[in-house]
Amino acid sequence: MTRAAHCSTAFCSACSGGEVWFPSLGDFGSFSCNMPGMVVFGRRWGIASDDLVFPGCFEIFVRVLWWIGTVVLYTYHRGHFECNGKGVLHTYLVGLLVVLGLIILSLWAIVYVSAQGTITNPGLRRSIPALVYLRALLYIPELVWACLGAVWVSDDSKGCDLATVGSVIAAVIASWIILLFTVVGVVFVFDPLGNPRPQPPAMEPLGVRDMESTEGTQFFSTARSIATKVWENRLRLLCCCLPQDESNRAAFSSISQLLSGFFSDTDLVPSDIAAGLALLHQEQDKMEQSRDPDEIVPHSPSSPIGEDLETELEKAAHCMQFAAAAYGWPLYIFSNPLTGPCKLSGDCCRSHAAEYDIVGGDHLGCHFSSILQSTGLQYRDFIYVSFHNQIYEIPFFVALDHKREAVLVAVRGTLSLRDVLTDLSAECENLPIEGVMGACYAHKGMCQAASYIYKKLVNDGILNQAFSVAPEYKLVITGHSLGAGTASLLAILLRNSFPTLQCYAFSPPGGLLSKALTDYSKDFVVSVVLGKDLVPRLSIPNMEDLKRRILKIVSNCNKPKYRILLQGCWYELFGGDPDDFPTEMENRREEELSQPLMGEESLMIRHSSSYQSLASDDSPAHKAVNLPLFPPGRILHITEDGPSRRSCFSQARYRAEWSNEMAFRSILISPRMLSDHMPDAVLRALNSLTRDRPFSLCPSSLSISQHNTI
């Protein structure tokens, strides 16, 4: 018997009681016995059988305190129940002790069984569905006793001391609160795609079914359509405040297809992803610590030797002020919590004169006032300011920057739900550019946003107006995050008309430009990335790679999920040495290591582009089926000097170096992957590099990304 067949038999024989041959959320084509999603009450839920440890422990803690309080109350009244309704009170307390005792025992059993096994081997947890049914039945006597206590308080509590009445009222309220939280929890883990569905006619073992049959194809097509519809309904519910016009509906449909396609070939619940991220973070830190500090990687040809980093950093720091100012008053107040409200209050509250007609979509004037405060410009320096915001239509302003002698266009980043939808419209759109050889395509949402601003600037004559005032000035475009991606695409669209333009893109999205457009943009776009920022590494191929790595590390780890999460939380909060998580592959023969684990295979749909063979990360099977996209221009990477963890009160020291787009082909897991993206953090790092001395500037001849892919 082959190893695969042996594992298949072993895994399937271990699964029972709710985790056997059931199509899961997005499990279109992989009817594996080993599925994280727990199946009870005839449907699959968005929770696994090993996710009950922490909620069970918390409820045990509450129930034990409740049981002890009830024992004290019963002992106090034992033998002298002398108030009205003493028989009902005696029955209530005795029954409550019994019900609480049974609930505590059932919870202890659930916690104990849920803590057994591993994520991909639920065989030791086969009794969880039966325990869940038992726990659900105990809600009935608890509900009855809550009603009995309420009746006693309302009808028969006269003559009893207030402490007793208050204790019973507290017990009744606690029962209803727990029942309410249970209902909320059920809604939270409800899986709209968890209903039993008709299965394909052939249910042979793995590798035997012909998944290309007409019946199978029709089944999977129907399942995918249902998944897309569910995601579309979720988006509409989330964006219920937005007008349901044709453009919004088209955006919802496009995004739902993208999301359903991404999640359609895995069977993971959220806690599995959290455990995988915790494991990946520690694995990445181990590899970073073991790397030779003297290792030198050849510099990118995109970074010319002798580039004046200090000059570029000063320009970037100056432009970042405008990119941050484009966010308006929210970021200004966040960055200046003590003085900001006072500085803006006069402008926001007073009546506005006719001069403020230039500002669109800023009815109170707070946005424009914050821009004036952040940039130090005068009102007369602004040519056009718009805060109009719709899907694919984002705010921007045009101003005269006399310090740098530039007509500056600043594009706002993500600040609204409409901006999020623009971000999520991540499929590729053709963007043919004259003189560029090779495939030219880019992020659809940001392409649309750049086209919107381009039409405003060119067709409405805004740039002509600006250059009529200052004809000797050059054009500079800047933005952060969504604004950075849009600014880069806008610069590409305007490049032929303004050959000397420059663009500074701060924390741009990684899934933005095709390789041909990325190379083209290196002559006039400088991207600035801080630390382990997630967004410059975020693209569909990188997300597929992250998903594959999570599947690999989760399926190989032989520790229970609760231990992974506990140790992961401790590591994130307090640091220490990365844990050496043992794997199920440690004691196997060397020749067996080229075979993927059945646990991993069971998490991924058969014939999926995300899972082919995990023998090597460089396997040809891992060639991306999604079109590759890259961050724009030359990349200036800013990292912290010194240890990876520092005191909250210690001052950060930064270093800057030229990098290239290939250094951002893998997502790095870190507690700072989101905080490094914030515009105030980027501005603070740039100011530290340009104003504080000494600072570290690495010459481009030693260009190296400090974060190698794993």
Among all residues, which ones are annotated catalytic? 481, 533
Q: What are phi and psi of 120, to 5 degrees?
A: -100, 5
Largest CA distance in the chain: 99
- Non-local CB neighbours of 618 within 8 Å, separated by 6+ positions: none
Which helix (H) or strand (E) covers residue 67, if one does?
A: helix 53-77
CA dist list (Å): 160 to 84, 96, 155, 473, 516: 7, 19, 12, 87, 83
CA distances (Å), 566 to each of 120, 562, 569, in order?
18, 6, 5
Give the C-alpha separation, 710 to 545, whole Å: 11
Contact, 61 vs 243, CB < 8 A? no
For residue 523, the one-letter residue type is D
- Cβ atoms within 10 A of the Cβ of 126, count? 19
Quick check: 470 and 407 in contact, CB under 8 A? Answer: yes
Residue 605 CB neighbour total at 10 angstroms = 24
Report whether 111 contacts 57 (CB < 8 A).
yes
Bridge partners, 480 (sequence order): 506
Record the tokens describing residue 617, joined without a space. 């990360």
- Token pair 């006619």 in the structure block, residue: 201
Tokens of 474: 């050059």
Q: How distant, in Å, are the alpha carbons of 252, 301, 527 from that of 192?
A: 18, 50, 41
Q: CA 86 to CA 74: how far, in whole Å? A: 12
- Nearest residue to 663 (alpha-carbon basis) of 703, 699, 627, 604: 703
- How far, in Å, CA of 446 to CA of 442, rounded? 8
Which is nearest to 397 in space by CA: 468, 460, 457, 446?
457
Of 44, 37, 40, whose CA–CA distance to 136 is shortest? Answer: 40
Contact (CB, 8 A) for 182 and 138: no
Q: Which of 434, 491, 467 is nearest to 633 (CA)?
A: 491
Beta bridge mates, 305: none
How far apart are the C-alpha atoms of 662 and 201, rounded to whole Å?
Answer: 46
